[in-house]
Structure 1
Amino acid sequence: MQPSPAEIARTLAAGHLPAVAHIACHPGPLPVRHVTDAQGRPLLLVPSGSTLTTALRPQPGNDDAALVLDVRDVPPMSSSPAIGRVWVSGWAARLTGDEARAAALDYADTDACGDLLDIGESQALYRMDVAEVRFERHEKLVEIDPDDYAEASPDPLRAVEFDLIADLADHHVAEMSDYVRRQLGAAARPGDEPRVVRLDRYGFLVRMGSRSARLAFPRPVTDRHDLAHLLHPILCRKCAA
């Protein structure tokens, strides 16, 4: 098993990666802080009076501004492959009152930053209604149905992927190497040292010299603690014995 394009798009857009906004009637992209709520709608945290606030000002006769949120993957390690890029298109409107307070709580679920306390003063919060989602990987562009995007969930390991891979590389090289060789059987070549280069809820990608292999977990994991429980028999020498 491996993530679907909709799941990867939700993971990329979740708010753990830098993003830029391409806004209608404004030249050039603008960096933007964002997360996504439970339905995958981007929430944009914008300094009041900034260039971004001006660019997001609706045109006469409109209540919102058209834009494209552009997010590229940043691999956790220099040896890790990128998982792609996502463009989320739609309309963003500034939130006020109860809507802004509720959205701030949604924002804090991903990024509990202090600027959320200044919404309505030095900060403004915008919510984007999603109209189109496009996912690119290996120069192949995939159109994702907005309903499929909304129903998918971001990968629960993405925010801690670097820590998990670093821990395996620092403390469990021998155990992981033995496990990978057992899984690959005759496909494992002598002299190739397996290294985990990507991790997600469905499994991990291992690089061995110039070759790569994806190994699946018995089931999708739900969080970091669930992953630790699943990997315990592999990483614990006594359990393996």
Structure 2
Amino acid sequence: MGPSPTEIVRTLVAGRLPGLVHLAHRPGPYHVRHATDPEGRVLMLVPVVSDLAAELDPGADDDVAVVLDVLDLPPAPGAPSLGRAWVSGWAAPLRGTEARRGAADFAAVDPTGDLLDVGTRFRLHRFEVVEARLEGADSVRRVDPGEYAAAEPDPLHAIEPELLADLTDHHEAQVTAYLRGHLDLAGGPPRVVRLDRYGLVVAYGGPGERRRARLAFPHPVADPAELSRLLHPMLCPRAAGARPAADGR
């Protein structure tokens, strides 16, 4: 079992990856710094002196139709992409108490010091997601906005590159031995290329042959501390504990 399309969209849009915003009947796209609040609404931190600010808040009271476009950045060479998330809605500037609450929600994802200048040098705009989809290599999946809002971003996504680097740099021998004992592998040494709350994605096979398998955790991981406990049997072979289950792809 891996993350659903809904969970992937929620994870990609969370605010850890670069985003582009497209505005209806406007030039663009524009690079934007964004985050999501606990309800999944998108917050955009925009310099007041910028082309994007001028397009988002041209002096009228009408909200502006926007589409946020976020492309997954694979964390390691040869790692599969999660795809591209597209979410759309009607953006409105936040003021007063709403701006302060929005800044606190943004800071929970990205505690940038520029949030201190919201209302002077920066302005926050927010939109509720009314349409969402996940674009893969050969498909586009629509995501229900209500299910999107109820989903949670993967708690490991922001630190996935560091986790994979640690497995490679400090535990390569233990990981290889564990994977060979739990997967029917052929060719060169196996390599963990993705990691999420549901398990590990392993690449293996000989030259010119790309194959992947998923090792599922006994249950979804809640945080990095729980991940450390689940990986302990892999990194310390003598330790007792639950073993991930293999799922070939």
TM-score (norm. length: structure 1): 0.94
Displacement of 1:234 in angstroms is 1.5
What amino acid maps onto 2:197 in structure 1? Answer: R
The aligned counterpart of 2:38 is 38
The aligned counterpart of 2:227 is 227
Q: Whole-Å Cα distance in 2 between the matches of residues 6 and 128 of structure 1?
A: 18
Displacement of 1:239 in angstroms is 2.2
Q: Whole-Å Cα distance in 2 between the matches of residues 140 and 237 of structure 1?
A: 40
What are the residue-to-residue correspondences of 1:153-164 with 2, within 5 Å?
153-164=152-163
Deviation per CA, 1:150-169: give whole Å up to 9, x if none.
01111000000000000000
Q: Whole-Å Cα distance in 2 between the matches of residues 24 and 135 of structure 1?
A: 20
Higher alpha-carbon deviation: 115-124 or 209-218: 209-218
What amino acid maps onto 1:197 in structure 2? Answer: V
1:207 aligns with 2:206: no
The aligned counterpart of 2:140 is 141
Q: Secondary structure at the match of 2:201?
A: strand
The aligned counterpart of 1:182 is 181
Between the two proteins, the alignment pairs up a number of residues equal to 236
Amino-acid identity (%): 54
Q: Whole-Å Cα distance in 1 between the matches of residues 201 and 237 of structure 2?
A: 22
What amino acid maps onto 1:37 in structure 2? Answer: D
5+ residue gaps, structure 1, are none
Q: Whole-Å Cα distance in 2 between the matches of residues 141 and 17 of structure 1?
A: 20
The aligned counterpart of 1:198 is 194
**Contact 1:94–1:125 at 8 Å: present in 2 too?**
yes
Displacement of 1:25 in angstroms is 2.3
Q: Secondary structure at the match of 1:133?
A: strand
**Contact 1:58–1:65 at 8 Å: present in 2 too?**
no
- CA root-mean-square deviation: 1.3
Q: Whole-Å Cα distance in 2 between the matches of residues 160 and 53 of structure 1?
A: 31
Deviation per CA, 1:124-148: give whole Å up to 9, x if none.
0011121100111122001111001
Q: Whole-Å Cα distance in 2 between the matches of residues 71 and 58 of structure 1?
A: 25
5+ residue gaps, structure 2, are 241-249
TM-score (norm. length: structure 2): 0.91
Deviation beyond 6 Å, 4+ runs, structure 1:
none
